[in-house]
Amino acid sequence: MPNLSRDALWGFLCGLVIATLFVALFTPYLVWERLALGKKCTSKERVAILIPYRDREEHLKTFLQHMHPFLKRQQVDYSIYVIEQQGEPKFCRGLLFNIGFSEVMKTETYDCFIFHDVDLIPEDDRIKYSCSSSPRHLSVAVDKFGYRMFSYSHYGHLIHVCGGVTAFSTSHFKLVNGFSNLFRGWGGEDDDMFLRLKARGLDYSRQDLNIARYRSLPHEQAEKNETNYLLLKNSQTRYLQDGLNSLETVDYRVKSTTRLPLYTHITVWIDAK
């Protein structure tokens, strides 16, 4: 009988020692894991998606219907901003991006900006809506252009056409002084951006042609404004004083900023010259 109780006592003590060891070893591990997890959550990249916009209600509806589930599947921490132009009849895509960027940065902080046409819908979930170590061209292969890449030679530069959808870290966008404010109507501002990057020793990286596929929503194609292409002659010196740092010389006014459930709507009035 006394033997039995001694065994029981030993058993109990052994159990106690094992349990203590278990707690002593596992507590630091659990704490470490929580900390690591917490850090991962707070350091998640914040992404702003900027849409230059005018008079494309159907496209915007389709875009939002597609993009919210798409971005949620990728678990992106994102917000969508629609920058709507009023006043000036010719569309100012680059200027709208600069105004959007500067307005958004007044009250928020983002690590990554995606400059996105409203009529382009990504077809593949592997197209990453995030920023990397260099600016990135996302809409490499568009259906209406036969899913092909284009380049052309202009004023002695080989220009890769990088329109549609591009991703810039906030610091890279500032480094090239944003887009030019000077382009009016369709064409050229994206080629100007390509040359800005070159001048800064940066380049667009591109996702694989077979992945980076986009569907374009149908609309009447505006005629290219050939005058814009004359501006490309001095893109690589002009960028230093034409862009984010010269916005205050542009005649525009932000009329309203409205937070809606699916996006933030910024309306901008631009003086018609």
Ligand X SMILES: *[C@@H]1O[C@H](CO)[C@@H](O)[C@H](O)[C@H]1NC(C)=O
Interface with ligand X by CB under 6 A: which residues? Answer: 90, 182-185, 225, 227-228
Closest separation in Å from C-beta 226 to ligand X: 8
- Rounded Cα distance between 165 and 149, Å, is 14
* 239 three-class SS: coil
User: Least distance to ligand X from the beta carbon of 160, Å?
Assistant: 21
Position closest to ligand X via CB: 185
Distance CA 198, CA 157 (A): 10
If the CB atoms of residues 90 and 174 are measured against ligand X, the closer one turns out to be 90
CB of 204 to ligand X, least distance (A): 23
Closer residue to ligand X, CB minimum distance, 94 or 135: 94
Would you say 90 or 157 has its CB closer to ligand X?
A: 90
C-alpha torsion angle, residues 102, 104, 107, 109 (rounded to 10) = -100
Find the shortest distance in angstroms from Cβ 39 to ligand X.
48
Q: Which long-range contacts (CB under 8 A, 24 or more apart) does 26-35 make?
A: none
Tell me whether residue 209 or residue 222 sits nearer to ligand X (CB atom).
222
For residue 179, the one-letter residue type is F
Q: What is the nearest approach in angstroms of ligand X to the Cβ of residue 90? A: 4
How far CA 220 is from CA of 186, 190, 216, 223, in Å, comes to 12, 20, 12, 9
CA–chain centroid gap for 151, Å, is 23
Q: Of the two residues 129 and 183, which places its CB atom closer to ligand X in the complex? A: 183
